[in-house]
Amino acid sequence: MNAETQYLELLEQTISKGMEKKDRTGVGTRSQFGGQLKYDIRNNTLPLITTRRTSLRIAFYELIWMLSGSTDSNFLLDKGIKIWQGNTTRSFLDARGLDYKVGDIGPIYGFNMRHFGAEYKGCDHDYTGQGVDQIQNALDLIRNDPNSRRINVFNHDVANEKKGVLHACHQNFQFYVDQEKKELSCHLYVRSQDLILGHPVNIVYYSLMTHMFAKMNDMTTGDLVVSFGDVHCYNNHIETAKIQLERKPYPFPTIDILKDIKTIDDIINLSFEDIKLNDYKYHPALKYEMAI
Distance between CA atoms of residues 169 and 67, nearest Å: 16
Q: Is 123 a catalytic residue?
A: no
**221 and 214 Cβ atoms separated by less than 8 Å:** yes
Distance between CA atoms of residues 215 and 260, nearest Å: 8
Per annotation, catalytic residue among 123, 169, 186, 233: 169
Distance between CA atoms of residues 193 and 233, nearest Å: 8
Measure Cα distances from 284 to 136, 140, 164, 269 in Å. Answer: 39, 42, 35, 32
Measure Cα distances from 209 to 44, 63, 147, 261 in Å. Answer: 12, 8, 20, 12
**46 and 54 Cβ atoms separated by less than 8 Å:** no
Measure Cα distances from 104 to 133, 225, 268 in Å. Answer: 20, 30, 19
Cα-to-chain-centroid distance, residue 30? 22
Beta-carbon-side half-sphere exposure of residue 40 (alpha carbons within 13 Å):
9
Furthest-apart CA atoms within the chain: distance in Å = 53
**236 and 289 Cβ atoms separated by less than 8 Å:** yes
| 203, 209, 210, 216 alpha-carbon torsion, rounded to 10° | 170
Distance between CA atoms of residues 45 and 251, nearest Å: 10
In the chain, what is the straight-line distance between the N-terminal and C-terminal CA atoms, in Å? Answer: 35
Catalytic residues: 169
